[in-house]
């Protein structure tokens, strides 16, 4: 596999991997499953 093809393949697949990984941590109701500081901010405001 030449570098050009590998690069274009990575460019095609990378966004899907990122979305899949984010999907593991974020429920689509907009609720965060990660214990992030944003939840503290939401409580304080």
pLDDT in tens, 5-18: 999 999 999 988 88
Q: Which of 12, 13, 39 is nearest to 25 (CA)?
A: 39
pLDDT at residue 4, rounded to an integer = 92
Whether residue 44 is predicted with pLDDT greater than 70 in this model: the reply is no
Interval 19-29: pLDDT, tens = 888 777 665 55
Q: The domain containing residue 33 runs over which residues?
A: 3-44
Whether residue 34 is predicted with pLDDT greater than 60 in this model: the reply is no
Between CA 12 and CA 7 the distance in angstroms is 9
Number of domains composing the chain? 1
């Amino acid at each position: 596999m030449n570098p050009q093809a590998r690069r274009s393949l990575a460019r095609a697949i990378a966004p899907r991997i990122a979305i899949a990984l984010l999907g593991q941590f974020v429920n689509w109701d907009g609720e965060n499953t990660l214990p992030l500081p944003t939840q503290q901010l939401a409580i304080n405001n």
